[in-house]
């Protein structure tokens, strides 16, 4: 991929800025750019890691909800129009009645 048109302008502009600034500032600028890049990469890893954890938790919740519905059906507990907590409470009540 060749460098064309406006890209040369940006390169020339960057070189001019480096020449105008004292040469001793160039290492500081390079260090700051390096730190910024590392911070960006760390933040990206953290962001994508968080997305993966959320997806995994959602998958686990979905699996546990399916198991709860399966248990509820086996005990004859109606699930439509009810919250997860209401279903779980009734499952506990029915299973404790069966144990007694």
> 5's torsion region: left (phi>0), alpha (psi -120 to 50) or beta?
left
Ordered by start, the domain boundaries in the chain are 26-99
The predicted structure's pLDDT at residue 24: 78
Q: Residue 91's pLDDT band (boundaries 50, 70, 90)?
A: confident
What size, in residues, is the chain?
100
> 78's torsion region: left (phi>0), alpha (psi -120 to 50) or beta?
beta
pLDDT beyond 60 at 53: yes
Do residues 29 and 52 lie in contact, with contact meaning Cβ atoms separated by under 8 Å? no
Which of 2 and 53 is assigned the larger pLDDT? 53
The reported pTM is 0.45
Q: How far apart are CA 16 and CA 88, in angstroms?
A: 70
């Amino acid at each position: 991929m060749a460098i064309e048109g406006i890209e040369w302008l940006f390169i020339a502009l960057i070189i001019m800025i480096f020449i105008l600034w004292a040469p001793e500032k160039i290492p500081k600028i390079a260090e700051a750019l390096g730190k910024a890049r590392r911070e960006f990469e760390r933040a990206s890893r953290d962001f994508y890691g968080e997305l993966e954890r959320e997806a995994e938790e959602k998958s686990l919740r979905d699996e546990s909800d399916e198991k709860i519905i399966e248990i509820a059906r086996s005990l004859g507990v109606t699930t439509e129009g009810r919250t997860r907590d209401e279903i779980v409470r009734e499952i506990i009540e029915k299973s404790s009645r069966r144990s007694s």
